[in-house]
Amino acid sequence: MALKITRILAKIILWFVGLSLLLVIAFKWIPVPVTATMLMDENGITKDWESLASIDPNLVAAVIAAEDSKFCEHWGFDTEAIEKAIKENAEGGRRRGASTISQQTAKNVFLWQGGGYFRKGLEAWFTFWIEAVWGKERIMEVYLNVAETGIGTYGAEAGAQRYFSKSAARLSADEASRMAAAFPSPKTRSVANPRGWLARHGNSIEARIGVVKRDGLDKCIYD
């Protein structure tokens, strides 16, 4: 009986590994058609896939500034940020996250929203493989096309059209920073009319866009 169970588990593991790697390889070249988050969105889906060349560099710099300044340095995981988050969370107070853009991309494409150790383990698995197979440029391209940018809205192009009635290829630094400021919680954070803390956060991101470009923090994408 034990041997039979072991064989079944081995088959399940082999099936998962094979299927997951097949999807990772396929999505290196083809647009991601839909994600679990999109399918579970009761507000419907509005999206429009665009190549990274058709997305303004201001938005790339804005999301790096807002979410992952070490994007071009790490291999999917920011160990320093993880250690800091563990320490601060253990001390109590507001819980701090440490997900990189690579981790968020892995979660958005292959998994579901929400926490839990099992999902985080799968997220780490997919993060490792997209870093190894896709590379930074493709990770950023996929991230900016599948990230939720508003209620029922996914991707940079759909977000730019929704908020600014223009293509994502022509975003100003101010517009890009406002979109990046809302990325962590697009259903509740206003892009069109940010106020208070959110407006200040957007202004801070806009100021750091210059730092990203000056210090080459986006060099793995454009070099």
Does the structure show a pLDDT above 60 at 42? yes
pLDDT (mean) for 151-159: 96
Q: Give the SS3 label for residue 119.
A: helix
pLDDT value at position 89?
63
pLDDT tens by residue, 164-173: 999 999 999 9
116 pLDDT band (50/70/90 cuts)?
confident
Say what angle helices 173-182 and 156-164 make with each other, to 10 degrees. 110
pLDDT value at position 97?
59
Which residues lie below 8 Å from residue 94, measured CB to CB, with a gap of 6+? none
> What is the Cα–Cα distance from 220 to 69, expressed in whole angstroms?
12
Percent of the chain residues past pLDDT 70, beyond the cut: 95
Q: What is the β-pairing status of strands 46-47 and 148-150?
A: unpaired
Identify which of 209, 168, 217 has the alpha carbon closest to the alpha carbon of residue 191: 168
pLDDT tens by residue, 83-105: 776 776 666 655 545 799 999 99
Does the structure show a pLDDT above 60 at 62? yes
pTM: 0.92
Percent of the chain residues past pLDDT 90, beyond the cut: 78
pLDDT value at position 39?
95
The larger pLDDT score, comparing residue 116 to residue 119, is at 119
